Amino acid sequence: MMKWEWGIGWHLIQKIEKSIMKTERTVAMSCESARNLCIVKTLAKLGHFPSKTTEKEAWFLSPLRSETQASFNVSLMKNLWYDFGIGKGGSVIDLIMEMKSCSVKEAMEFLKADTIIPCFHVPKPQLHSENKIEVIGIGTLKHFALKGYLRSRNIPLEIARLYCKEIWYRLNNREYFAIGLENSLGGWELRNKYYKNSSSPKSYSFIDHSSDRLLVTEGIFDFLSLAVLNEELVMASDVMVLNSLSFLKDIEELIPYYREVLLFLDHDAAGEKATQELLNLYDNVTDSSALYNGYVDLNDKLKDEKCQTEK
């Protein structure tokens, strides 16, 4: 009798284990299916369209925050996104979780309800393909196209030459040129009229003027704009150009070593959140963004001043 009962119990345990394994496989398959939903098409359905598209990537104004220059990247080869402004990225599931402030389960339900979004198919790998940026030349800023781009951002050439270089680089067997600001790890932040990118490794940029005051800006043109608007302040201060808000954590350990730290972060949700967090943590930190009240960032203010002068 006991043997018969044990046999029934053993089969029941096996059945439960098989049921659990089947459920786990179903959940895994559902997640995998959801991850294959096209991010670009998902964004389009939610009312977000690319500002620029190439064969391998698309650039959007971030759907997660307010901005005037597209810094939200979607890899068309990998079907992955990355928001350079907040230093976050991932799959379409991660994107919906960020946009909707919801759980994985809720994101899955949202995506499952949408049956018209085409699935993403990973392209077949090509032999000898190379997506890494290779810097092939570094020199003084002199290309007429880059000088024209600086004029459009109202940055004098002599200011840009103090801190930036003309960078020639190779990507996918083609050569390009850009304005480059070197970061602390030897990589380059690259900007031209049509493209925003960086070579590896990516990090923040530090300009050392042996000062006990630190200025913190988000990007290249915020820093260059500040150098135009208040050259004396910049020359008398150390400067940290974050190149991405995600690097704030990396520089926090430096903040206590300065007498004062002035923040010039963007007037958007991400910038204001980061500013407030640092103000709450450190007594020597000051929000200096009043300099460009009414504008998203320093360069917006500088460009508007140029327009007002021309009028």
CB 164 within 8 A of CB 141: yes
| Burial of residue 40, with CB atoms counted within 10 A of its CB: 0-12 exposed, 13-18 middle, 19 or more buried | buried
Instruction: Answer whether 169's CB lies under 8 Å from 133's CB.
Output: yes
Residue 219 has which token pair? 């990007």
**Helix, strand, coil fractions of the chain, as percent rounded to 5:** 45, 20, 35
pLDDT one digit per residue (tens) for the chain, 311 residues? 433 343 434 444 444 444 444 444 334 435 666 677 888 888 877 878 888 878 788 889 899 988 788 889 998 888 899 998 888 888 888 898 898 888 888 888 887 765 434 444 444 444 344 458 899 999 999 999 999 999 999 999 999 999 999 999 998 888 999 999 999 889 999 999 888 889 988 889 999 998 999 999 999 999 999 999 999 999 999 999 999 998 888 778 789 989 999 999 999 999 999 999 999 999 999 999 999 999 999 999 999 876 555 54
pTM: 0.59
Which contacts of 96-103 are long-range, i.e. CB under 8 A and separated by 24 or more positions? Answer: 96/42, 98/64, 99/46, 99/63, 99/64
CA 160 to chain CA mean position, Å: 23
Q: What tokens were used for 191?
A: 């900007």
